[in-house]
Amino acid sequence: MARVLDGAAIAATIKQEVAEEVRALAGRGIRPGLAAVLVGNVAASEIYVRSKVQSCADLGIFSELITPPASVTTEEMLELIAKLNSRDEIDGILIQLPLPAQVDTKALLDAVSPAKDVDGFHPVNAGRLQAGRPALAPCTPAGIIEILKRSCISMAGQHAVVVGRSDLVGKPVAMLLLHQNATVTICHSKTRDLGAITRQADILVAAIGRAGFITPEMVKPGATIIDVGINRINTREEFDRFFLGDAKREATFAKRGSTIVGDVHPRAFELAGAYTPVPGGVGLLTVAMLMANTVRAAKMRRGSSGEGAR
């Protein structure tokens, strides 16, 4: 039986550790602060930001929710970011994506001070990560490494295959795995004979954005599978393709008219040695790592970690 890597338990432990650090910083008169910028009324973004703000409250981190209208311009957003960059009580700036089409997302992400870039999206942090220097690493990739480490899954010398090369997930997780001494292969939509490569993976990371794309034939028996994908399915046909006979899922589907599936077909997990479920796996780590990054940014910027961020 494959071991389930429980994202909820690992995220809870990390949050507990962050809360302890926040208490220790309070003793020195420092309260880490996060500014969350939520533009317009995108339902999914509202849910994500709400959970991030709630986590701040739970852990004793100061947070401020800023909600510009959907009609906001790039210039207005740049002004807002400049103000947040200059405020000492703000250690982390989170701009919830996606932004409306008229806003230049790259310009905004580049305008965030690298020292406050708790999402790890700034090119300076990407460069530091690549160079193996202290950096604020993107939350989802950092969460994947925490799952592997805390589940005692060795990375050194293992063949890690990452499917997906986005700046958000694929590239940074590949770099982090390399820093853990894995032998890393990165695959993407132009990769030839993908299955022949994924079948060599001791650790297979799927960050593709296509429901159930990794099938059992693409998995080496005993591999560790990290499923990053979050895909909502809402047709009976799709449901049956992935979850036929799964009574628990059937109940969710009947109640909500939809359910979530990762980038890995659930039957592929049966071959794995260990895997992250969807939901309940990687997704839960993303918020926990955002909290950890906010505290880290506070320590680096306010000079109490010795790492230095500027």
Residues that bind ligand NAP (CB under 6 A): 140, 163-166, 168-170, 187-191, 194, 207-210, 228-231, 263, 282-283, 286
SS (H, E, C) the chain: CCEECCHHHHHHHHHHHHHHHHHHHHCCCCCCEEEEECCCCCHHHHHHHHHHHHHHHHHCCEEEEECCCCCCCHHHHHHHHHHHHHCCCCCEEEECCCCCCCCCHHHHHHHCCHHHCCCCCCHHHHHHHHHCCCCCCCHHHHHHHHHHHHCCCCCCCCEEEEECCCCCCHHHHHHHHHHCCCEEEEECCCCCCHHHHHCCCCEEEECCCCCCCECHHHCCCCCEEEECCCEEECCHHHHHHHHCCCHHHHHHHHHHCCEEECCECHHHHHHCCEECCCCCCHHHHHHHHHHHHHHHHHHHHCCCCCCCCC
240 flagged as catalytic: no
| Residue 27 burial class via C-beta count within 10 angstroms: exposed 0-12, middle 13-18, buried 19 and up | exposed
d(CA 94, CA 121): 10
- Nearest approach, Cβ of residue 66 and ligand NAP (Å): 22
Q: Which is nearer to ligand NAP, 140 or 293 (CB)?
A: 140
Q: Which is nearer to ligand NAP, 14 or 30 (CB)?
A: 14
Q: Which is nearer to ligand NAP, 209 or 216 (CB)?
A: 209
Out of 91, 117, 119, 227, the active site residue is 119
> Is the Cβ–Cβ distance between 277 and 285 less than 8 Å?
no
Question: Between helices 7-26 and 43-59, what is the axis angle to 10°?
Answer: 50
Q: Which is nearer to ligand NAP, 263 or 309 (CB)?
A: 263
- Nearest approach, Cβ of residue 82 and ligand NAP (Å): 27
Q: Which is nearer to ligand NAP, 190 or 255 (CB)?
A: 190
- Nearest approach, Cβ of residue 212 and ligand NAP (Å): 11
220 flagged as catalytic: no
- Nearest approach, Cβ of residue 238 and ligand NAP (Å): 15
Q: Which is nearer to ligand NAP, 121 or 243 (CB)?
A: 121
Out of 52, 116, 220, 299, the active site residue is 52
- Nearest approach, Cβ of residue 207 and ligand NAP (Å): 4
- Nearest approach, Cβ of residue 211 and ligand NAP (Å): 8
Out of 15, 96, 116, 158, the active site residue is 96
190 flagged as catalytic: no
The catalytic site residues sit at 52, 96, 119
